[in-house]
Amino acid sequence: MTLRRFQQIDVFASGPLNGNPLAVVHDAQGLSDAQMAAFARWTNLSETTFLLPPTDPGADYRVRIFTPGGELPFAGHPTLGSCRAWLSAGGRPKTPGRVIQECGVGLVPVRLDGEDLAFAAPPLRRTGPVEPEVLAQIRGTLGLPEGAILDHQWIDNGPGWCAVLLDSVERALSVRPDPALFGDLKLGVAALHPPGGPAALEVRAFFADGALVEDPVTGSLNAGLAQWLIGAGRLPPRYVASQGAALRRAGRITVSAEADGTWIGGRAVIVLEGSAALD
């Protein structure tokens, strides 16, 4: 039996235990795809990651990202959590202040901003308005009246997200998707907060992974929303998003559109440490 270092990290947290937990296995060399998938099912978290030596000479480490239902090429909160785990194990980036992660979508830079981390949003793989039949499915599963959806867009950066912008935060927080109508959507629901509050955007994330799931705080979705809504002039280049209120969480995501990309940031705090026996 081989014991591997294991950590559980709270990502995008605004305080103790109110972000999105991530399981991280260090030194995952030798584990098969089946073993990784089995452990991800066992943790039953939205994602579990496995740290490996990089295969790209420009990367500092490589990560594989699994949900209980399968592997993802990219996800945001696993990116920040995996980076925090790698740094805590003594990882030293080739470029001070910037870590380069290798994952299924390629190389993703992670910036060290004091206690916070921020990843550069990867390019969108699919953009443009949602097709009428998909929009009708979204309206049906969310039980929305005509006019409640102000805008909609494909914002897929790997997981397959599409998103709708609703007419109020209250409506966004009250929707309860109908599993019978949801299908295989990867759906972001967002609404603009009134100016002057602690957050500019309220976000929820829904997907089917064996059953209908709501993710507490979602980096990849927030990255796509930022690229869409900043580009459309609906949000300023810098803002804070809130996610998780419907699940009694208080996630906070900082967004900054700069000359070198759109950066999605937040806290990543180690909560649990130990060893995992996976083989």
For the segment 49-107, what is each residue's pLDDT rounded down to a tens digit? 999 999 999 999 999 999 999 999 999 999 999 999 999 999 999 999 999 999 999 99
pTM for this prediction: 0.95
3-state secondary structure of 98: strand
Structural domains for the chain: 3-117+266-277 (3.10.310.10), 132-264 (3.10.310.10)
Amino acid at 119: F
Strands (E), the chain: 3-11, 20-25, 48-52, 61-67, 70-72, 98-103, 106-113, 116-120, 149-154, 162-166, 186-192, 201-208, 212-215, 238-243, 251-258, 261-277
| pLDDT at residue 214 in the model | 97
Q: Are the beta carbons of 221 and 208 closer than 8 angstroms?
A: no
Strand partners, 101: 61, 108
CA distance 188 to 180: 18
- Please write the tens of the pLDDT for every residue from 228-240: 999 999 999 999 9
- How many Cβ atoms from other residues are within 10 Å of residue 139's Cβ? 17
Triad 193, 195, 201: Cα angle to 5°: 30
Rg of the chain over Cα atoms, rounded to whole angstroms, equals 18
Q: Give how far Cα 195 sits from Cα of 31, 110, 145, Å.
A: 49, 29, 25
**For residues 121 and 178, what is the distance between their CA atoms, to the nearest angstrom?**
30
- CA dist 60 and 51 (Å) reads 11
Q: Indicate the pLDDT class of residue 209, thresholds 50, 70 and 90.
A: confident
Of 137, 120, 255, 246, which Cα lies nearest the Cα of 186? 137
Share of residues in the chain with pLDDT > 90 (%): 96
